[in-house]
Amino acid sequence: MAEARKTFPMSTFAAYLKGDKAAQKQTIVELLSFMTKKEIDAEFEPFAAALAKAWIYEQHPELAKMKKGDIAGLGDNVSVVELPGETLGEVDGIFAKLAEYRKSIGELSAKLQKSEVALAETSAKLKETEKQLAAANGELSKLKASGKDEGDKVIVTSQAKVEEYIGKVADLLKMIEDVKKHGVVTVAAGAPAAGGAPSAEGPAAGGEPTADFGFGSDPFADEKW
């Protein structure tokens, strides 16, 4: 069975082997696609280039020592064969792994994109929540300040009432003690004593003589006089 061959310009072959690929990029991709029997894209191209170059140098080690000009001087064209089955099997395995990695990376990228969208939405909600929380804290501070002022007023008023009640209770206790000791209630100056104070018009008629004068009340006030 004849080997599958394809002819390429020697300039393409020389550029491929010696690294000056820019001017011959498209033709080099065609060469690699033919040798590996794979569709080559920008991501797979470096792997295909390395695999094919390794096989070429293995078959023709003299090419590794030649310069680009020397290879170009070998002729106008070069006949290239497909890689043998065993080597193609290795290429297939490598490309399968690359395809698997690409798929995994694609899935991870999709998940990452979704996560970034979710993160952006969550961040927006968080900012809104923080804004609402700040507003609520402001209102709470106002309420606390207002509540403190009103509370202070209530405390002051209550304290005054308590002190008033304490004063009244103290007065009542004092009156009770006076009654216990003297049988009368001591009152403040100017207030009438319990039972009524003596009239300023004169001594009461009749009764026992006072200790100060030795006489009783006005003797002439007695009805029997």
Kindly state whether residue 217 falls inside one of the protein's structural domains: no
Kindly state whether residue 73 falls inside one of the protein's structural domains: yes
Residue 113 has a pLDDT of: 84
Kindly state whether residue 60 falls inside one of the protein's structural domains: yes
199, 204, 209, 213: CA torsion to nearest 10: 50
For 159-180, how does the pLDDT look when each residue is reduced to its tens digit (9 = 90+)? 677 677 677 878 878 878 777 7
Whether 17 and 33 share a structural domain: yes
For 71-101, how does the pLDDT look when each residue is reduced to its tens digit (9 = 90+)? 989 999 999 999 998 888 888 888 888 888 8
Whether 12 and 57 share a structural domain: yes
Binning the chain into helix, strand and coil, the percentages to the nearest 5 are 65, 5, 30
Whether 70 and 96 share a structural domain: no
Kindly state whether residue 202 falls inside one of the protein's structural domains: no
Domain count, the chain: 2
Q: Is 120 helix (H, G, I), strand (E, B) or coil?
A: helix
Amino acid present at 7: T
Whether 78 and 89 share a structural domain: no
pTM of the model: 0.47
Task: Residue 129: give the domain boundaries.
Answer: 84-153
Q: How far apart are CA 33 and CA 16, in angstroms?
A: 13
